[in-house]
Amino acid sequence: MNVRARGAPASSFRSLLPNLGGLWLFIILIAGMAALPTFVSTYTVLLVVPIIGYGVALLGFNLLFGYTGMLSFGHALFLAIGGYTVAAMTSRLGMLNFEMILVVAVALSVLIAIPVGALCVRYSGIFFAFLTLAFSMLFYSFLFKFYYITGGNQGMSVSRPLLLGREFDVGQTAFLTGPFYYYALVVFAVLGIVMWRIVESPFGLHMRAVRENPDKAAYVGVNVYRVRFAAFIISAIYGAIGGAVLSTTVGLASPELAIWTHSGKLVFMTVLGGSGFLAGPVIGAFIFAFLQNSVMTVTGYWRFLMGAILVILVLFAPGGITGIVNKLVARWRPGRR
Amino acid sequence: MTSVFIILLGGVFHAAVLFLVAAGLQLVFGVQKILNLACGAFYALGAYFGITAVSVAAALGLPTALFLPVLILSGIVIGLIGAPLERLLRPVYRRGVVYPLLMTFGFVLMFHDVFRYFWGSRPQTMSIIYYLAYGTIEPLGAQVPVYNLLVILASVVIAIGLGGFLQRTKTGRIIRATAENRDMTEGLGVNVGRIFTIVFTVGCMLGTVGGALVVPSSVAALPMAIKLVIDAFAVVVIGGLGSMRGALAGALVVGLVQAVVTVVMPEVTMLSIYLIVIAVLILRPVGLFGKESI
């Protein structure tokens, strides 16, 4: 009975309803974040800076998980690469130029993602999750044990970088909530638009085809291995840039960046916001950070609550927040029932 | 010679405990196709609860010599928590591998705070009296607590018991049939839901008993839930997902390699384990005893 209704041409009303997977939601988010410092306290802005870092990383992670259907449980590896690049370059090598740092972080992440990805994307499903987890833990143990290179569990501190060659003679908080905030936001916006181009391209369509049915996709001529590999490399690049922003915010790169629970946190944020929607994971990062912050002011047992939320989410709203809204919007659409 | 013997025995002890947790992981994966990230949390739960159980038993005036049965019993009792957790997982079995995995990650987060609430953030230890309660023996001039040997023995007994249960009992056959083909088994009139509850609970118990057995020689601390997952995963990947024999082989490999490398080159302990894991995944992705079909 639904077949005809679904196949019916879109009514003019229906076309007015927004598509939550669209770029507009992302642009609204960016605009909101750009306007944020004028409305809220410095403390709140300080809370948002790491979200930008996570946002960048999650854009990439969503390409891999949400669009290509590959659950990586070791994606934190690339955040750690970005984080340690910033730390090593600023505090060990004295190279403070942030653009340079980002370029090096991207280069390093690609260099590592090529062999790791080539091995991992031969598998999908649980084996892919396993393999990526194994590689991230390999890196974690390297960071942890080779303390004379990496600082061990103390981590490596991050000195303040130069943005566009400029030095800012202000306090750390003012730097993070001022110049760095806008700098990171611009990076985020650009990377988001690039991501939008990727997922809306024929290549993005290939990715979704691979997610839905790899065998069928291969049958109609999609090179499944290459699509997955490309998604892995791109997500690694985004992860490294996100990690670089994140570590600069925190002022420290520690082995905890690479541990498997950190990867779990990335998955959590993505599912919370809604995977497969461009802006979904970013919304997830926002909700996660503010929820965690507000729960922490009440009780120290925020993990219990977050865990419970994850369980409830998996049970009742696997599509995440964006998925729920999308469903409500779809219910409004005529021609569905 | 003596030191080599001690190192190897330490490795076997570690392997014995790892085997229990990994066997639980394998059982749950083999039958329910769930990768249980909470296996480490079960292990920690067993460790914490074991300390409490032994201190309660001591307060009731039980002789020190009886603490090993108390520990095993406490592990079995607290392992029953697997049954309600399985009920939570039930609706998401059919939604692919991602959502059950995520839910067990939610369990990990929740258990972390449960431990903090009941036992605090500081590591908990059991009095050394218990660890040495059964004395020490000195084979080849090395001093070895008898407790370590008893744990190895207990693990072997559990392994044999589990194998017998799966191979020879009716429920065991049904469990293996469910692992092979869930829909067909259900079609033949088996209450698969009940089987899943049993399997998950037994899997959970293996973890909690493992944790309870290790705690007299070690501590119960918050990071153990996260750290053990790393070792247990290495075990199942090396041995092959879903295979009991694989869990045994993998546990021995990980336990012995860890014991040897810790002495020879302590920096690379975890690194060496994960290099083996990655080598196995590249050369023989199904693991030593895995089925080719995965």
**B61-104 pLDDT, tens digit each:** 888 878 888 999 999 999 999 999 999 998 888 887 788 989 99
Residues in A touching B274 (Cβ below 8 Å): 134-135, 137-138, 141
Number of other CB atoms surrounding residue A169 within 10 Å: 7
Residue A2 has a pLDDT of 37
Listed as ranges, residues in chain B with pLDDT below 70 are 1, 291-294
Give strand pairing partners of A157: A252
* Element containing residue A156 per DSSP (H, E): strand A156-157
What percent of chain A clears pLDDT 90, i.e. is strictly above it? 44
Q: Which of A150-154, A296-300, B67-71 has the highest mean pLDDT?
A: B67-71
Distance of CA B220 to the CA centre of its chain: 15
Model confidence at A333, in pLDDT bands (50, 70, 90)? low
Residues in B touching A129 (Cβ below 8 Å): 35, 97, 101
Q: Distance, in angstroms, between A290 CA and closest chain B CA?
A: 17
Residue of B86, B104, B111, B271 to mutate, interface with A, max A Cβ within 10 Å: B271
ipTM, interface predicted TM-score of the complex: 0.88
How many CB pairs (< 8 A) connect A and B? 125
Give the model confidence (pLDDT) of A81-111 as tens digits. 999 999 999 988 888 889 999 999 999 999 9
Give the model confidence (pLDDT) of B13-27 as tens digits. 999 999 999 999 999
Instruction: Say yes or no for a CB contact (<8 Å) between B108 and A123.
Output: no
**With contact defined as beta carbons under 8 Å apart, do A32 and A285 qualify?**
no
CA distance B251 to B235: 5
Tokens of B260: 């040897």
Instruction: Say yes or no for a CB contact (<8 Å) between B106 and A307.
Output: yes
Residue numbers of A between 220 and 259 with CB closer than 8 Å to B: 259
* Element containing residue A110 per DSSP (H, E): helix A98-120
Model confidence at A146, in pLDDT bands (50, 70, 90)? confident
Residue B219 backbone dihedrals phi, psi, to 5 degrees = -125, 160
Residue A131 has a pLDDT of 84
**With contact defined as beta carbons under 8 Å apart, do B186 and B192 qualify?**
yes
Name B249's Cβ contacts closer than 8 Å, sequence gap at least 6: B238, B239, B288, B289
Residue A8 has a pLDDT of 40
Residues in B touching A267 (Cβ below 8 Å): 102, 105
DSSP letters, B160-195, are: HHHHHHHHHSHHHHHHHHHHH-HHHHHHTT--HHHH
CA distance A47 to A33: 12
Instruction: Say yes or no for a CB contact (<8 Å) between B117 and A301.
Output: yes
**With contact defined as beta carbons under 8 Å apart, do B162 and B23 qualify?**
yes
Model confidence at A312, in pLDDT bands (50, 70, 90)? very high
Average pLDDT, chain A: 86
Model confidence at A3, in pLDDT bands (50, 70, 90)? very low
Give the model confidence (pLDDT) of A218-252 as tens digits. 999 899 999 999 999 999 999 999 999 999 999 88
**Partner residue opposite A260 with nearest CB, options B95, B229, B282:** B229
pTM of the model as a whole: 0.89
- Residue B254's nearest CA partner among B268, B236, B227, B281 is B236
Residue A166 backbone dihedrals phi, psi, to 5 degrees = -100, 145
The Cα-based distances of A163 to A95, A181, A184 in angstroms read: 12, 11, 10
Residue A125 has a pLDDT of 80
Residue A17 has a pLDDT of 58
Residues in B touching A133 (Cβ below 8 Å): 233
Give the model confidence (pLDDT) of B43-58 as tens digits. 999 999 999 998 898 8
